[in-house]
Structure 1
Amino acid sequence: MSPSPYKYYIINKPFNMVSQFVSPDDVGLLGDLDFDFPEGIHAIGRLDNHSEGLLILTTNKRVTKLLFESKTPHERTYLVMVRHRMTQETLEKLRTGVTIIVKGGVDYTTPPCDVQIVDMPEGLFEGNFKMRPDIPHTWLTITLTEGKFHQVRKMVFAVSHRCIRLIRISIEDLLLGDLQPGCVKEIEETEFFKLLQINNWQLPKLNS
């Protein structure tokens, strides 16, 4: 079997960095990372500049369609810090579905999802954030199988909480783990597809 021509990486995207190599805005870029990426690399399942955590980069353009545009749902889990204490009643609202505004100004009710109150993970990198003990907050994990624009932020806002930090910690069994902000890890192709629970042979063919 010939070696794969494609490369697969995960990074811990820092705060105030966009998920692209070129931008007209004055923000951090993926090209600012201390890593020599191969030609043709791009990010899939992007995070906005205020979000952090697990981001996939690959030279295989077909992965995006299978992972985020297919009919088969794939779980994404986020570690979320919100301002103020969240009650069990509010937690249940998030779990059962809340109404948010999506593209085109349309009301959309989110499907049921897994939401848990958690302790702040030990050794969590602070990044550009400094904890203020005088302001109550709650840490959550939220697991979704969809990704509307700014969905997690809109969900917690719909139940009267402000999202302070948003860190993607996993996509299926592909974990951020202890990878530090700005660091890059290469994943072997077979392991990459196994952890994401997708099959290489299912990848759609590119138009020639």
Structure 2
Amino acid sequence: MPRRSLQSSHRYLLFYKPYDVLCQFTDDSPSAAPRRTLKDYIPVPDVYAVGRLDQDSEGLLLLTDDGVLQHRLSDRQFQHPRTYWVQVERIPDDSALKHLRQGVTIQDYRTRPAIVQVLSQEPPLPPRDPPIRFRKSVPTAWLEMTLTEGRNRQVRRMTAAVGFPTLRLVRVNIAHLSLVGLKPGQWRDVQPEELRQLKTLCQLRR
């Protein structure tokens, strides 16, 4: 088990959420088939995810029992960046990329401007289990997208709105916090310097 850092009376954890895991500690669904939750991986009481990743998404989660920091990171006014690697169906053209960067209208809102670039090669990710369904006749591309808001299924809705559906979605960064050093299903404590930077970002006293 990872060693706890002597940094605060609160706990701050980073977790690499695998595909098909609920972003909560209990499954409230009446479904007969049990679904995996955070409880299957994290034996730390009273911590909760800051923001969410959908069941069909993967990647970095921050969990804490610090309610003030959790509120700041969930408040849209602080605009903390989140970076995703996104595999999409077909190859986005310049027009689609421009729309994603400038903002896309989804239902009753328009997304904030985003940083979007096409990755020159497939990113170094472990294989997804189960793998995505490929269509041999349809190429795919990987995008790196950095957003400053986190609405429900926003990345998937953005790429679908410009005609390039998301096949795989992995969050790789929350501000300066990174997946580096973690494998799917692993977690670790946030280190003191990482926490200091996070509190500075949220305009909190250290």
* 8 Å contact from structure 2 (residues 84, 172) kept in 1: yes
How many angstroms apart in 2 are the aligned matches of 1:173 and 1:58?
17
Q: 1:143 — aligned with what?
A: 146
Deviation at 1:198, TM superposition (A): 3.0
* 8 Å contact from structure 1 (residues 7, 189) kept in 2: no
* 8 Å contact from structure 1 (residues 115, 141) kept in 2: yes
The one-letter code sitting in structure 2 at the alignment partner of 1:108 is Y
Indicate the SS of the match to 1:143. Answer: strand
Between 1:125-134 and 1:167-176, the stretch displaced more is 125-134
* 8 Å contact from structure 1 (residues 8, 189) kept in 2: no
Q: In the TM superposition, what whole-angstrom CA distance separates every residue of 1:72-108 from its partner, at most 9, and x where no partner exists?
A: 210111110111111122111111121112xxxxx21
The one-letter code sitting in structure 2 at the alignment partner of 1:158 is A
Unaligned runs of 5+ in 2: 1-5
* 8 Å contact from structure 2 (residues 60, 178) kept in 1: yes
Q: 1:57 — aligned with what?
A: 63
Q: 1:90 — aligned with what?
A: 96
* 8 Å contact from structure 1 (residues 68, 74) kept in 2: no
Q: 1:31 — aligned with what?
A: 39
How many angstroms apart in 2 are the aligned matches of 1:95 and 1:191?
28
Residues 3, 82 of structure 1: alpha-carbon distance in 2 compared, 3 angstrom cutoff: closer
1:201 to 185, 200, 205: 205
Unaligned runs of 5+ in 1: 102-106, 203-208
* 8 Å contact from structure 2 (residues 177, 194) kept in 1: no
Aligned residues: 193
The one-letter code sitting in structure 2 at the alignment partner of 1:81 is Q
How many angstroms apart in 2 are the aligned matches of 1:89 and 1:81?
18
1:188 to 184, 187, 191: 191
Scaled by the length of structure 2, what TM-score is found?
0.85
Deviation at 1:183, TM superposition (A): 0.5
Moved over 6 A (4+): none
Task: Give RMSD over aligned pairs.
Answer: 2.0
